[in-house]
Amino acid sequence: MTMGAADVVPGVSGGTIALITHIYERLINAIDNVSLSLVLQLFSAERKKAWDALDGSFLLALALGIGTSILLVTGGISWLLTHYPIPLWAFFFGLILGSAFVLKNAVSHWNIVSILILLLGGCVAFGIGLVSPSEGSESLIYLFFCGLLVVIAMILPGISGAFILVLLGAYGTALEAVAQIKAFQTEGFIVFAVMASGGLVGLKVFAKLLRWLFTQYKNAVFAVMTGFLLGSLYKVWPWKEVTQYYTNSSGEREPLTAISVMPDILNSDAQVTLAITAFLLGLILLFLLERLSKNKSDA
pLDDT digits (tens, 9 = 90+) for 87-103: 988 988 888 888 788 77
Burial, 150: exposed, middle or buried (Cβ in 10 Å; 0-12, 13-18, 19+)? Answer: buried
How much is the pLDDT for 255? 64
Q: Is residue 199 domain-resident?
A: yes
Q: Is residue 95 domain-resident?
A: yes
Q: Does residue 57 or residue 211 have the better pLDDT?
A: 57
- Single-letter amino acid code for the residue at 274: L
Q: Is residue 148 domain-resident?
A: yes
0.75 surpassed by pTM: no
Q: Is residue 236 domain-resident?
A: yes
> How many other C-beta atoms lie within 10 A of the C-beta of residue 231?
24
Q: Which of 42-51, 150-159, 204-213, 288-297 has the lowest mean pLDDT?
A: 288-297
Phi, psi angle pair for 244, to nearest 5°? -155, 140
**8 A C-beta contact, residue 270 and residue 263:** yes
Q: Is residue 299 domain-resident?
A: no
How much is the pLDDT for 97? 86
Give the total number of structural domains in the chain.
Answer: 1
Q: Is residue 296 over pLDDT 70?
A: no
Q: Is residue 184 domain-resident?
A: yes
What domain range includes position 174?
Answer: 2-294
